[in-house]
Structure 1
């Protein structure tokens, strides 16, 4: 199997997680961000992640990939119900997180941005007007909003279990770590003890490094 991904993409993080948690072999392939042709040939759309399997079959969408691999390996199972509080937290964060992450991702040494044309394509597609994209980098209101979200999450995680391949899994485990992984590129956030333990433990369990050292 081959998993086509971007380093920055939270949905790609979710897809990578299932292979590690299930101990299922896969080859990771990073595409340049301006490589439109490859995903179009596979699934008719420019999006990642895409799973290549059975020689010439392709599957997009992270949750479909998670379900597919889940059925191939018995343990752990992705059967736990979605946690409503975690789901609501993720939904609230998604309303503004990309304003924080877009200008930081483009500055990071990720393989999808290895060429000037890939960076240019990202800028053109994410901020076609050319207004306000970079200004979000230091917007104190956005940082305050992110910090408030992190503080709320610390209370939620008091009773939410650590990610563990020995227990049944929930899609909430995948979406939560994907968003915390995205937030790790943002410098200046202070994580409470429960958030810090959860994100670092999940990073270790899934063998997916956080972007703390690249944060700006």
Structure 2
């Protein structure tokens, strides 16, 4: 009898049909004999792991409830905990998306428009005007034509003094005249970008992802 079949026999019936010997239970262990060979399957470790998991889940729920009560009361620890938890959850999704985006294939397309533009309308005072980088490009995947506007995974909004950051970002696009390199989602080609997430962006995302939780743990535990 194979190990898997013996396992099923132990769970379903109290005796092994091949060896015609009744299983005996001793101190949480099941024994089966066949041809003077003893097979031992111990459930003690499994039982301990299950109990530990159940205890950990109960403690986690209890801790979340206590933090929620503290946050509702305006206590600093509860508020900081949920801020850290929010950053962890949001940045988890962001990191997954960035890592997937780094695997996107590329295609050459045509740049129709691109550069920096005002964000939210021009302000009365030029120093308070906000700027973003924008683009409009078209490309073709499997014979179907698409248009995209996304330049980078990150959306930077700056004022006039930091406008050079946007100019540098747009210059980082792989461009030859009107032709640009476009990265697209192979599962949904209408989603595209001109710049893939870089290592620096991933490091920043990782710091925002785990930093608040580490700071919370260092402050309150």
Q: TM-score range by the shorter chain?
A: under 0.3
Structure number having the greater helix percentage? 1
Rg larger for: 2
Instruction: With the length of structure 1 as denominator, give the TM-score of the two structures.
Output: 0.20
More contact order relative to length (CA 8 Å, sep ≥ 6): 1
Structure number having the greater strand percentage? 2
